[in-house]
Chain A
């Protein structure tokens, strides 16, 4: 069974100079899409990725990461639009770094593409009616 999950990887400082992530593809036939990364050699690293593949390979991949010393958390945060509060002003549109908000040309409604959201949280406080909500 193929699955796809968003996960957060914490790299302890001692392993940030090793190549770890590429082995997910090489050894476990998993594909990954790095959403956010901040990995500096010698410091703790953080990476948010969408990891997909066969369930069994996925489990093996996660086991490999854990054994390599990577701490894994499921993506605990999710940005959701409270449709009742959104006034479709569009203040979010040019702030979002990934272009998750677009205007429907005819109705001038603001559309939110959840799949493009990388949970950077920029929109949350910048939304005038505070319609963007962060869930843990």
Chain B
């Protein structure tokens, strides 16, 4: 029954493609059986909506008269510093960048009300953003100062380029210490007061294609409310972690680098986010379509929350000290009941990833494909798999002798 992406695209163009979400497929396959479901269904859509710190935007501001060269100088967007080490008017704005005068954690826990992620959200919303630049001036770029309003609609290029998104599985954060801690996994109450998790589970893109059989470089995706592409494998992409019998990693594993035109994205799918005591970031909406090319691929998409396990990690000691100790594993089905048991204690759970929005993304992508507005792309190179030998390298510190 093997299908090709070209055949599926033909059906999409004719408005005949059968598309279901990664949640709908679970029941369908249970009722019809994998074989029949694989024959009938062409695409399964996934979705995730989570804070993803390794996100940012490349902007080309356009040339002023007289010209100014940002490279080697400084640029601020609404007081948030952007990276200028590029050609004259190209800058990169990272999601976690903070205004120079933000008190950070000097007043603990820092509030981190406004940072790079918030500027990106405002740009996408079409709001004017104040740009301030200081440059050193050259013969061909004489200007040394610039202060102006910019708007995404008036600048030449705005490209979202996130080097690590859509993590394949993630840890459950808890706190064993006797004081409140403020982490990227949220506010964690002392003595196992709560447990926070952060993937969309059975809807998550890479959990539905655990061995990267369809998702690869060049895969067209839903990104921030518009379309984008998988640009590369994400930083810290780590396919060689322990996996369950179903192939699903039992720890954080693969990740995606994604790229897309920021101009066609929407602020409800790219949200500036503040993690108390931790910093600013960007919550990113991503949806990846999985073409059902074979029964095997369909079987992977039938993964349910009960089959996905996440390690429970203490963020007061084990995580900051880089100790590889887990307090056990817990399934997403258990996490989603609102309570889990850790060391005999009943611990209330919460998610930092919005399942509601993830469902929305999978549904929107489904509609786009059904209407023939979104065609699938062939990947041009696979993501490194378990055979690649890629592992995460911890930093080997070497003393610097003066």
Using a CB–CB cutoff of 8 Å, the interface residues on chain A facing chain B are 85, 87-95, 103, 107-110, 125-126, 128-130
Contact = CB atoms under 8 A, between A and B. Distances in A.
Interface string B266-298: 000001111110000001000000000000000
Contact of A87 (B49, B111, B194, B196): B49
Nearest to A84: B268
Interface of B: 49-51, 109, 111, 113, 186-187, 189, 193-196, 271-276, 283, 338, 348-357, 359
A128 B359 CA distance: 19
B338 A103 contact: yes
Contacts of B283: 87, 89, 128-129
The 3 closest A-B pairs by CB, nearest first: A108-B355, A94-B348, A88-B356
A90 B186 CA distance: 11
A126 B188 CA distance: 10
9 contacts: A90-B354, A91-B352, A94-B193, A94-B194, A94-B348, A108-B354, A129-B272, A129-B273, A130-B113
B357 A87 contact: yes
Given A87-B271, A125-B111, A95 B350 contact: yes
Contacts, number: 77
B354 A88 contact: yes
Contact of B350 (A92, A109, A125, A129): A92
A93 B49 contact: no
Contacts of B354: 87-90, 108
Contact of A107 (B51, B195, B356): B356
A83 B369 CA distance: 29
B216 to A, nearest CB: 29
A95 B276 CA distance: 13
A83 B111 CA distance: 21
Given A87-B356, A91-B350, A94-B348, 19 more contacts: A85-B271, A87-B49, A87-B357, A88-B355, A88-B357, A89-B283, A90-B351, A91-B352, A94-B189, A94-B193, A94-B194, A94-B350, A95-B187, A103-B338, A108-B356, A109-B356, A110-B356, A128-B51, A129-B283
